Amino acid sequence: MNAAIDQPDRPASVSTTPFLAADVGGTHARVALIQVAQDGGRAVEVLAYRKFACGDFGGLAELLQAFVDDEVQAPVRRCVLACAGQLMGDEVLNDNSAWPIHLPSVRRALALDDLAALNDFEALGYALDNPLACGGRLLCGPDRHVDGPTLVIGPGTGLGAAVRLSGPAGGGVLATEAGQMDFAPHSIREREILAQLVPDGGYLPCERIVSGPGLLTLYRTLCALHGTTPWLATPAAVTAAAMACSDAQATEAMEVFCAALGSFAGSLAMAYMASGGVYLAGGFLDSMFGLLARSDFEERFLHGRSVRAFLSQVPVWVTEHGRQGVLGAARWYLGRGTSAATTPRPAAAGGPAP
């Protein structure tokens, strides 16, 4: 079934022929064939869509080619990638990635005329601009949507975050590496966890705690502190045990996770004065909405802050981002893609690829 999203006015030079849009995370990649809607509106249509496990492929080019072979069965000349990690020249740097991503190599392998890339949470920022449009569920704060800076935060394989700024033609989105900020403990138990993970002191990034792997780390650390043997081997298993209340350490790990997520979100909302709200994105959170709603998330989102009155008016939504990453990437590409990381095909016919 086709999906659609409003998109800003695009440069006339951008082709209206179908193109690929991919949302590439550390564990999964979502790929779509996109075209501009032909009904005269300002929308894009999803002609084909699939979700892949990154570990099933030797590299990104192989994964994209599988999509083209199975779903498109025709040449595709343009592609936009929303990638987890940092874009540094022609490389995507991400310690959690299944494989290295070198943009010119991907372009050559698929014989693309144009390849553009942006951060995955930057793409979400271009898509998740309305809680009704993306099916968000209100977690805390007032049930309203107002103009102002908006945060998109998502714990998955890592911890991503971006800031959407309102302005002319839809505003813009600022990608961040907020997940690499220092973890700051707020309780005795969190101090014990920090001491267990970095016994000699030093740096511990927030994503070591607030992510899927971070939840598993919390569980194993709490087992060590309690002197018990861990038997749960995956973040999904820890989540299931916490939801079923079948394992005390899994339940405690989830409590610490939710509280730490609240602190992280509150700190970012305060830093950016995010009056437009906070979106918590990803199926991982959507599946545990009830646990999150009963947790200390809201108290830690507000706790001990001089701008508590402001933060109490900031709505927080939980949303399953699903196709939103590819739709946001398409929106960015059509409206702004020519000004960011691109690897166009060389002009000289028959010349070596860069």
Token pair listed for 167:
């302005």
Domain count, the chain: 2
The arithmetic mean of pLDDT across residues 122-138, rounded, is 74
Residue 335 lies in a domain: yes
Of the candidate ranges 24-38, 187-201, 243-257, the one whose mean pLDDT is the lowest: 24-38
Please state, in angstroms and rounded to a whole number, the distance separating the CA atoms of residues 228 and 166: 50
The arithmetic mean of pLDDT across residues 170-185, rounded, is 89
Same domain for 121 and 136, yes or no, is no
Same domain for 282 and 313, yes or no, is yes
pTM here? 0.84
Residue 269 lies in a domain: yes
3-state SS string for the chain: CCCEEECCCCCCCCCCCCEEEEEECCCEEEEEEEEECCCCCCEEEEEEEEEEEHHHCCCHHHHHHHHHHHHHCCCCCEEEEEECCEEECCEEECCCCCCCEEHHHHHHHCCCCEEEEEEHHHHHHHHCCCCCCCCCEEEECCCCCCCCCEEEEEECCCEEEEEEECCHHHCEEEECCHHHCECCCCCHHHHHHHHHHCCCCCCCEHHHCCCHHHHHHHHHHHHHHHCCCCCCCCHHHHHHHHHHCCCHHHHHHHHHHHHHHHHHHHHHHHHHCCCCEEEEECHHHHCCHHHHHHCCHHHHHHCCCCCHHHHCCCCEEEECCCCHHHHHHHHHHHHHHHHCEECCCCCCCCCCCC
Same domain for 77 and 191, yes or no, is no
Higher pLDDT, 171 or 217: 217
Find where tokens 């302005």 sit: 167
Confidence band, pLDDT 50/70/90 cuts, at residue 255 = very high
Residues of the domain holding 53: 4-125+324-342
Q: Provide the β-strand partners of residue 93.
A: 86
The half-sphere exposure of 303 on its side-chain side, counting CA atoms within 13 A, is: 16
pLDDT at 10 over 70: no
Same domain for 284 and 170, yes or no, is yes
Q: Which of 155, 120, 174, 105 is nearest to 292 (CA)?
A: 155
Beta carbons of 79 and 105 less than 8 angstroms apart:
no
pLDDT at 51 over 80: yes
Residue 348 lies in a domain: no
Same domain for 60 and 208, yes or no, is no
Same domain for 61 and 175, yes or no, is no
Task: Report the CATH number at residue 157.
Answer: 3.40.367.20
User: Dihedral sign, CA of 285, 251, 203, 268?
Assistant: positive
Same domain for 67 and 185, yes or no, is no
Give the type of residue at 48: A
Task: Report the CATH number at residue 116.
Answer: 3.30.420.40
Beta carbons of 332 and 169 less than 8 angstroms apart:
no
Residue 352 lies in a domain: no
| Arithmetic mean of pLDDT over the chain | 85
pLDDT at 120 over 60: yes
Residue 353 lies in a domain: no
Residue 347 lies in a domain: no
Same domain for 69 and 139, yes or no, is no
Same domain for 113 and 250, yes or no, is no
Same domain for 302 and 251, yes or no, is yes
Token pair listed for 110:
């698929």
Please report the pLDDT score of residue 209 as a whole number. 97
Please state, in angstroms and rounded to a whole number, the distance separating the CA atoms of residues 152 and 131: 12
Residue 210 lies in a domain: yes
Residue 201 lies in a domain: yes
Of the candidate ranges 59-63, 128-132, 209-213, 326-330, the one whose mean pLDDT is the lowest: 128-132
